[in-house]
Structure 1
Amino acid sequence: MSTAGKWAENPALNPRIQAALRRVPLSVEEVLALNAAVLQRSTGLSRADVETLRAAARSGPAPKPALLLSDVPALASGCSVVDRLLRGGLPVGGVTELFGPSAVGKTQLALQICLSVQYPRQHGGLQSGAVYVSTEDRFPSRRLQQLISEQPSLRQDVPLSLIHELHLSDGVYVEHAADLPSLLSCLLKRVSLLLSRGLVRLLVVDSVAALFRSEFEACDWLQRHRQLLAVSSELQRISRQFGAAVLCINQAVDLVNQQQDQGPGPAPSSFGPALGLAWSNQLTARLMLCREAGLLTHGDQSSAPRSLRVTFAPHLPDQSEGGVTAAGVWREGLRGEEPNDQRAASSERATSSLSEQGT
């Protein structure tokens, strides 16, 4: 941050705090906005040092007004219908969660956004790459190559010459993390290095819940809580320090067996996001993807319809429309039907129904 260098040279701060600020640049605004636990985790300072740091921030010049998420650029998903729902796409400088049942299309959408981030800003991208951290399954490289080959079909708003010039496969960096220490090391070292060099502006973690559900027993709740805060604070640091979009895929759990609060926003009656309230409080936005009844057709393809809903996003001015319905997973990726197409399909169904009644 612009004020971090001046902080490190401030003689009023002891050398230990100065060294921490050189290692993790923080602005006055961030020191005052972040809670003590996040500051301790990101800087490695004690609680007393964090209070000293905050006191110095309060006694200094008045900080600039915080930038609202609605004022920063968004990262487009590649689907105009989804982007309208999200008011442009994923928030840059925040952590977005995408949760839903297994095999509903969460990874499909994440891969699609990994390609979208590489486009110029006028086409909804950030002109940078993506790092994809896989924690459970093998990275779907074949599906990624298929999405790349089908980009001209999905991104008809982008000139074909530009799509070929980008070499999209070179802009996706893949990391694997088999356990929590590996995940934290990856975020602190390799991911931060890619971000600091400007090679990536999108981080995808697929999935964030897998390691917590496999490594801890019920009696280890305190250790699990601490590790969860460590991971979430690191994701927050990455999003804020580097101005990156962070997308975390989360698993769904049965609400009948889930006794803890799932956090802000409405949730479906049958399932909700894993990891509970401690994780929910770290999110900028929460999206729910689920499968609906019926069948969609698109040329020679067919797909079960999906719906994408915003269940929590304070930066969005209006969420009354409820979500994107009749979205399908096709060869070119996840794409929703335009409202005109949906109305036409509804009209055709109504006409067919009236014809049957007349006969």
Structure 2
Amino acid sequence: MDWEQLDLHPRIIAAVNKANIKSAREILTYSVVDLQRVTQLSVTDIQRLQKAVSATLQKDAVVTALQMYREKTNFPSQHLKLSLGCNVLNNLLRGGLPLVGITELAGESSAGKTQFALQLCLSVQYPVEYGGLGAGAVYICTEDAFPSKRLQELIKQQSKLRAEVPADVIHKIRFGDRIFIEHAADVDMLTVCITKRLPILLLRGQIRLIVIDSIAALFRCEFAARDAVLKAKHLQTLGAKLHHLSSSFTTPVFCINQVTDTVKETDSVLTHCGLQERKVLPALGISWSNQLLMRLMVSRTQRTAPPPHTGSILRTMEVIFAPHIPQSTCYYVIDMEGVKGIDGEGT
């Protein structure tokens, strides 16, 4: 480091050079006593040196919460959200998916998890003023083939689902050309994809959404119960890599997760009759839960939706945890046009 750039007395700079200290960060690794020993400077001079070095290393000034709220354009990751393509669902999530962090969607088969992922892959391509990010998405499949037919159906129905968007804006977007599909057959392939391929697309500005469908499939196959510690280590490493990409490129990460069954005995009478209460929980345990910013759960009910969605199965989305949203639920349906929340049905 060029110590001459610091606002320090030449005597202090000369002492640092004589001590052969090469970097500003190295200064902060020493205690005051150690710096005195190697530089022969007084305590007052050492404090001046540390203060000057700290000011140099501090890249961003401290801001208050009020500043961040008032200067929204300067802090897009705090205020912008990725739309789910439905106002009711956006209201549930206070605007949509946060731009930084991992959002998990867990649920049983047929709850509509993949439908949400596909809809997000289309929504991210809209301009910012319509809830998108003006870029494409990468869709990583770990178990089933990519649902290309369903994607084409959704693309054709965008003008109906997104009626608030001018038709000319929708027609200009080449939805199918901006979704990059990757198949990962094991954890190693998934790691290579995240560490090698995704950064290239992100650096080129081609994508602003990462979808993994599903995160549990590979870990359930490759790790037995006795490998819990090793599995936890891999999950933590994977989560750290995804967080790094998300924060570096202000890109949402959307992970679909499977669920596991738990059985709870309700009371002695029901237990005696052989009846037990069934409950599902997201797979992968606490090691994975600790990597998440937000967890959502979806489920399919036995009820049909009210008009004008008559004939569609009613489903529920529940916010399990999020730093900015209380626990809450919302009903939704899935039809030819996509996923649609239902007003007045949530709590």
State if a TM-score over 0.5 links the two structures.
yes
Aligned pairs for 1:138-149 (under 5 A) are: 138-149=145-156
Which of residues 281, 284, 296 is equivalent to 1:275? 284
Amino acid at match of 2:124: V
Partner of 2:225: 218
Q: Deviation string for 1:143-178 (max 9, x for gaps)? A: 000000011111001111111110111111101100
Partner of 2:246: 239
Equivalence map 1:152-231=2 (5 Å)? 152-231=159-238
CA shift digits 1:45-97 (9 cap, x unpaired): xxxxxxxxxxx989943754477898231000001100000011000011100
Please give the secondary structure, in 2, of the residue aligned with 1:78: coil
* d(CA) in 1 for partners of 2:285, 2:239: 13
CA 125–181 in structure 1, closer or farther in 2 if over 3 Å, else same? same
Question: Alpha-carbon deviation of 1:337?
Answer: 1.8
Displacement after TM superposition at 1:12 (Å): 4.3
How well do the aligned residues superpose, as a CA RMSD in angstroms?
2.5
Describe the shift of the 1:230–1:91 C-alpha distance in structure 2 as closer, same or farther (beyond 3 A).
Answer: same
Contact 1:301 1:330 in 2 (8 A): no
Q: Distance in 2 between matches of 1:57 and 1:133?
A: 42
- Describe how 1:1-359 pairs up with structure 2 within 5 A: 11-12=23-24, 60-61=57-58, 63-65=60-62, 71-256=78-263, 270-296=279-305, 302-316=311-325, 319=326, 322-325=328-331, 327-339=332-344
User: Counterpart of 1:338 in structure 2: which amino acid?
Assistant: D
For the 8 Å contact 1:69–1:315, the answer to whether it is kept is no
* SS of corresponding position for 2:263: coil
CA offset digits 1:234-260 (Å, max 9, x no partner):
111111111101000000111239xxx
- 1:86 and 1:200 map into 2 onto residues whose CA distance is 22
The 1:178–1:121 alpha-carbon spacing in structure 2 relative to 1, beyond 3 Å, is: same
Distance in 2 separating the partners of 1:94 and 1:250: 16
Cα separation, partners in 2 of 1:184 and 1:165, compared to 1, 3 Å: same
Specify the code of the residue in structure 2 equivalent to 1:154.
Answer: L
Question: Are the structure 2 counterparts of residues 294 and 226 from structure 1 closer, same or farther at C-alpha, using a change threshold of 3 Å?
Answer: same
Q: Structure 1 pair 135/57, CA: closer, same or farther in 2 (3 Å)?
A: farther
Q: Which runs of 5+ in 1 are unaligned?
A: 1-9, 15-55, 258-267, 344-359
Cα shift readout 1:251-272 (whole Å, capped 9, x = no counterpart): 0111239xxxxxxxxxx96101
Partner of 2:297, secondary structure, is strand
Q: 1:209 and 1:216 mapped to 2: Cα distance? A: 11
- After superposition, give the CA deviation of every residue in 1:100-157 in whole Å (9 maximum; x if it has no partner): 1111100001100100000011110001110000000000000000000011111001
In structure 2, what residue type is equivalent to 1:169?
A: G
**Distance in 2 separating the partners of 1:165 and 1:215:** 43
Aligned residue identity for 1:330: D
Which of structures 1 and 2 has the bigger CA Rg? 2
CA distance in 1, matches of 2:278, 2:56: 49
TM-score w.r.t. length of structure 1: 0.72
Partner of 2:49: none
Gaps (5+ residues) in structure 2?
Answer: 1-21, 27-52, 69-74, 265-276
TM superposition shift of 1:192: 1.2
Cα 1:311/1:145, change in 2 over 3 Å: same
Q: Please tell me the residue identity of whatever aligns with 2:335.
A: W
Equivalent residue, structure 2, for 1:31: none
| Change in CA separation of 1:336 and 1:254 when aligned onto 2, cut-off 3 Å | same
